Amino acid sequence: MKIGVTGATGQLGRIVVEKLKERVSAESIVALVRTPQKAADLGVEAREFDYSKPETLAASLQGIDKLLLISSNEIGQRSAQHANIIDAAKVAGVKWIVYTSLLHADTSSLSLAGEHLDTEAALKASGIPHTILRNGWYTENYTGSAKNAIAAGAFIGSAGEGKIASAARADYAEAAAVVLSSEGHVGKVYELSGDEAYTLADLAAEISHQTGKNIPYHNLPESEYASILKSVGVPEGFAFAIAGWDVSASKGDLFDDVHQLSQLIGRPTTPLAKVVTDALA
Torsion of CA 106, 110, 114, 115, to 10 degrees: -120
For position 21 contacting ligand NAP by CB under 6 A, the verdict is no
For position 157 contacting ligand NAP by CB under 6 A, the verdict is no
User: In the bound complex, what is the minimum distance in angstroms from residue 173's beta carbon to ligand NAP?
Assistant: 9
Rounded to whole angstroms, the Cα distance separating 244 from 214 reads 27
Rounded to whole angstroms, the Cα distance separating 110 from 103 reads 10
Q: Mark residue 24 as left, alpha or beta (left: phi above 0; alpha: psi -120 to 50; beta: remaining).
A: beta
Q: Mark residue 266 as left, alpha or beta (left: phi above 0; alpha: psi -120 to 50; beta: remaining).
A: left
11 vs 184, beta carbon nearer ligand NAP = 11
133 vs 215, beta carbon nearer ligand NAP = 133
User: In the bound complex, what is the minimum distance in angstroms from residue 213's beta carbon to ligand NAP?
Assistant: 27
For position 7 contacting ligand NAP by CB under 6 A, the verdict is yes
**Phi, psi (rounded to 5 degrees) for 242:** -60, -45
Q: Which of 101, 119, 131, 135 binds ligand NAP (CB under 6 A)?
A: 135
Q: Which stretch binds ligand NAP (CB under 6 A): 134-142, 151-159, 179-187, 233-241?
A: 134-142
User: In the bound complex, what is the minimum distance in angstroms from residue 77's beta carbon to ligand NAP?
Assistant: 8
User: In the bound complex, what is the minimum distance in angstroms from residue 234's beta carbon to ligand NAP?
Assistant: 14
Q: Beta strand 217-219 with 29-33: parallel, antiparallel or unpaired? A: unpaired
For position 11 contacting ligand NAP by CB under 6 A, the verdict is yes
Angle at 74 between CA 16 and CA 270, to 5 degrees: 35
Strands in 96-102's sheet, in edge-to-edge order, are: 45-48, 29-33, 3-6, 66-69, 96-102, 130-135, 189-192
Q: Which of 72, 84, 143, 250 binds ligand NAP (CB under 6 A)?
A: 72
User: In the bound complex, what is the minimum distance in angstroms from residue 183's beta carbon to ligand NAP?
Assistant: 25
Please give the residue ranges that form the binding site for ligand NAP (CB under 6 A). Answer: 7, 9-13, 34-35, 38, 49-52, 70-74, 100, 135, 137-138, 141
